[in-house]
Amino acid sequence: MIAFVAAVLGLQLAGELIARWLGLPVPGPVIAMLVLFVALSFRAQPPAALSQLANTLLGHLSLLFVPAGVGVISYLGRLSEQWLAIGITLVMSTLIAIAATAFTLRCLKRPEPDTKGLDNS
């Protein structure tokens, strides 16, 4: 499993380097996830050690919210000054995400064939 931890961290480093060298507005870890997805798409199933690593990380996912919470507390002054703009932005971005998801689902959902006029006897 240590080898896969090193591989995941190496992919994250590679993603950061690619994002900085090319000046992409995409975070390095997102690029790393895409590279990992492409690499794993050529396999029938992921290696067992990688699955174990993923399950371990998912089991401790709540710990990853600690830095975000610390960031919020660090900027309480700014939040109290700009609460209205931040609140409107959060509500609007949530509504846009819901609408985009609904639109995408509607576009991707295949219509069911009409079987009312067919005789099945």
Question: For the segment 101-114, what is each residue's pLDDT rounded down to a tens digit?
Answer: 999 999 888 777 66
Q: What is the mean pLDDT of residues 17-29?
A: 92
Quote the percentage of the chain above a pLDDT of 70.
93
Considering the entire predicted model, what is its pTM?
A: 0.55
Helix (H) or strand (E) holding 35: helix 28-41
Determine the Cα–Cα distance for residues 50 and 40; give it in Å rounded to an integer. 10
